[in-house]
Structure 1
Amino acid sequence: MTHLTQIDAATMARLLGPAAAIDVLADVLRAGLDPEEGPARTSVRVPAGELLLMPAAFGPYAGVKIAGVAPANPAAGLPRITGSYLLLDGANLRPLALLDGAALTELRTPAVSALAVRHLTPTGKPLRLVLFGTGPQAYGHLEAVLAVRQVAEAIVVGRNQIGARALAGYARTLGVLARTGTPDDVAKADLVVCCTTAREPLFDGALVAPGATVVAVGSHEPDAREVDSTLVARSEVYVEARGAALREAGDLLVPTAEGTIEEDHIVAGIADLVTGRRTPTTERPRFFKSVGMAWEDLAVAGALYEAALAAP
């Protein structure tokens, strides 16, 4: 059997930080990867929750992530997201590496968000950040945002106050003024990041200031959403890929079903932002909705594999 390079979560953290992961994603988009061409995610309901199959191929690599979403796990002290990533040689599909799939997701999802933040927020001033969520994705998003922007203040909003205080405390160890807050804090935010398991809107979208940016990553289900129809209707909407968003993004599909917006309300994809084909043009709120796509896992997994080979 071919020897597989094993890359666990601790190794991953050592090999590739948030800033490098963001650049990896930007590089593959500039190299011509088209997110619209990515295959649809396969989702299978199982007794413990959901199994996801996410294949992709580009450049020198192919690969597939098998991820599990087990809603009951946190109550048992286990991670909600599980899984593995198998990286293959793109030319012959020979297995090259096996990576911790949950850790890969925790690295690539914030990197995608931060790449959007880099293009949707102003560069001239430190941002006031409101962060919804207290789990691994919330920590990852804090670190990724700090890789692309200065943060004047981070306000953590969570159902679990102990968790919210812990994340605010962690932000302070990174040199950020931080506290816990409430959903109404979005009114004074420059950037709102939602990474929760919520199925209903987290805040009143009318409160978000013109020119502010909102990022939502918590759901890839058509009937679940973190933001309301009011915000979506007010906003310039950006996505990873139109096809994926119109299949899976409840934040957009629910207001479309209500008749609040049309499908053409989506302004552009992230590739348009990265390549300069599109720039934000108004003082309306900017809303970036991410559902997570296989090309993102592939790009970051390939970079991790190359870093592992180069490591002493």
Structure 2
Amino acid sequence: MSTAAVRPAARPTDHPTARPADHPADHAGAPVPLVLTRSELTGLVSPREVVDLVEQTFADLADGVAAQAPLTAAALDPAAHFLPMTAVSGRAGLAGSKLLADVPGNRDRGLPAQRSVLVLVDASTGAPAAVLDGAVPTRLRTAAASAVATRWLAREDARVLGLVGAGALALEHVRALVEVRPLERVLVWSRTTERVATFAAQVAEHLPDLAVEAVGSPEAAVRTADVVCTLTPARDPLVQGAWFAPGLHVNVVGAPPRPDHREVDGAAMARSRVVVDSVGTALHESGDALLAIAEGAIDADACRLELGDVVTGRATGRRAPDEITLFDSVGLGVLDVALGAVLLERARAAGRGVAVDLAA
């Protein structure tokens, strides 16, 4: 992939249906903050728009046009971690913080293990702008980050995608990745056959020309793939570096931001050229990186190349056809803020959400 300057991301004002919002203003003339539910956020942006927006945001972070605070969890015990993911985007003119609640015990209660809420404020005045359910922006920007990494790191002739995990992130990843590579086949593994069946039906609905093949093991999803995405909340590695063929690109996505959780083993990290979303985040919260370092498979210097530097041309992406590349994705608050800004403007234009004057 060329290291030419990144294309400008789609801006909310470029949307052909954008129109003035039908929501009230406060006493100073600023729009009253919106509260936006999951259903109100659904369908406001296309996968291509999100991929381009996320690519631009990685560039903004590298260029100093955006900034984010270090990721640090607050916890009383391992049962529940609370992570405020705080960032500011000069391009969007907003700052924000997504509070991520990671509660693994929720699975036994029939509840999601992770929940989040995103709060946006004006970057100049601090005035509240919106409160958004975090599920939609998290899912969209996570898949888009993998697509951006794939755009810059995978081989141009990549056609086969391997998925380890078939949960909520799987369909979004396929929809994002087809924007950057002409995929022909998806190999998918999950512990739950029902999830594989649901995923296959979703792909058939959205991308009917894309073949989906259920496989019996993570190894089968990895060995013959050109691009692999690991999408599980694993604590112990499901994927071994010994399975990596020359030229493979891997997006390591699913494990929660906990230093003791990982999806790939130390050999996977050692055999790959590792690219991270953020050095500070990876070396603080990525179990895939930290456990490989602790085992001596790699050292910290192996995790100091950021995707933003590749996108902006400060560093080279894929250097050779046989090179194995790995994107270690922990998740960045700045991506939530940038996408939240677009979702907010689209929601105002569509008349969605409930206006709540928090200062009343």
- How does the TM-score come out when normalised to structure 2? 0.81
Mapping of 1:9-20 within 5 angstroms?
A: 9-20=38-49
In 2, Cα distance between the equivalents of 1:46 and 1:36? Answer: 31
Residue 141 of structure 1 aligns to a residue whose secondary structure is helix
Instruction: Give yes or no for contact 2:71–2:285 (8 Å, CA) kept in 1.
Output: no
Q: Does residue 157 in structure 1 map to residue 193 in structure 2?
A: no
CA shift in 2, pair 1:40/1:34, >3 Å: same
Aligned to 1:101: 134
Where relative contact order (Cα < 8 A, 6+ residues apart) is larger, the structure is 2
CA shift in 2, pair 1:76/1:35, >3 Å: farther
Q: Determine which structure has the larger helix proportion and give its number.
A: 1
Instruction: Give yes or no for contact 2:57–2:66 (8 Å, CA) kept in 1.
Output: no
Instruction: Give yes or no for contact 1:154–1:171 (8 Å, CA) kept in 2.
Output: no
- How does the TM-score come out when normalised to structure 1? 0.93
Aligned to 1:306: 345
Q: Does residue 42 in structure 1 map to residue 81 in structure 2?
A: no
| Structure 1 outlier segments of 4+, above 3 Å | 29-37, 74-77
Q: What RMSD over aligned residues (CA atoms) do the two structures have, in Å?
A: 2.1
CA shift in 2, pair 1:246/1:133, >3 Å: same
Deviation sequence 1:222-243 (CA, Å, 0-9, x none): 1211011111111110001111
CA shift in 2, pair 1:31/1:247, >3 Å: closer
Mapping of 1:25-40 within 5 angstroms?
A: 25-31=54-60, 33-34=63-64, 38-40=68-70
In 1, Cα distance between the equivalents of 2:304 and 2:159? Answer: 24
Deviation sequence 1:246-287 (CA, Å, 0-9, x none): 111111111111112111113621101211222221322100
Residue 149 of structure 1 aligns to a residue whose secondary structure is coil
In 2, Cα distance between the equivalents of 1:145 and 1:266? Answer: 24
Give the counterpart of 1:177 among 199, 211, 214.
211
CA shift in 2, pair 1:309/1:171, >3 Å: same
- Residue type of the alignment partner of 1:54: M
In 1, Cα distance between the equivalents of 2:59 and 2:46? Answer: 20
CA shift in 2, pair 1:46/1:147, >3 Å: farther
Residue 88 of structure 1 aligns to a residue whose secondary structure is strand
Structure 2 gaps of 5+ residues are: 1-24, 27-31, 352-360
Instruction: Give yes or no for contact 1:200–1:226 (8 Å, CA) kept in 2.
Output: yes
In 2, Cα distance between the equivalents of 1:305 and 1:250? Answer: 33
- Residue type of the alignment partner of 1:82: R
Matched positions, count: 311
Structure 1 gaps of 5+ residues are: none
In 1, Cα distance between the equivalents of 2:164 and 2:65? Answer: 27
- Residue type of the alignment partner of 1:160: T
In 1, Cα distance between the equivalents of 2:107 and 2:65? Answer: 32
The range that moved more, 145-154 or 31-40, is 31-40
In 1, Cα distance between the equivalents of 2:304 and 2:66? Answer: 14
Q: CA deviation at 1:81?
A: 1.8
- Residue type of the alignment partner of 2:333: A
Q: Does residue 288 in structure 1 map to residue 327 in structure 2?
A: yes
Q: Does residue 144 in structure 1 map to residue 173 in structure 2?
A: no
Instruction: Give yes or no for contact 1:51–1:69 (8 Å, CA) kept in 2.
Output: yes
Aligned to 1:231: 268
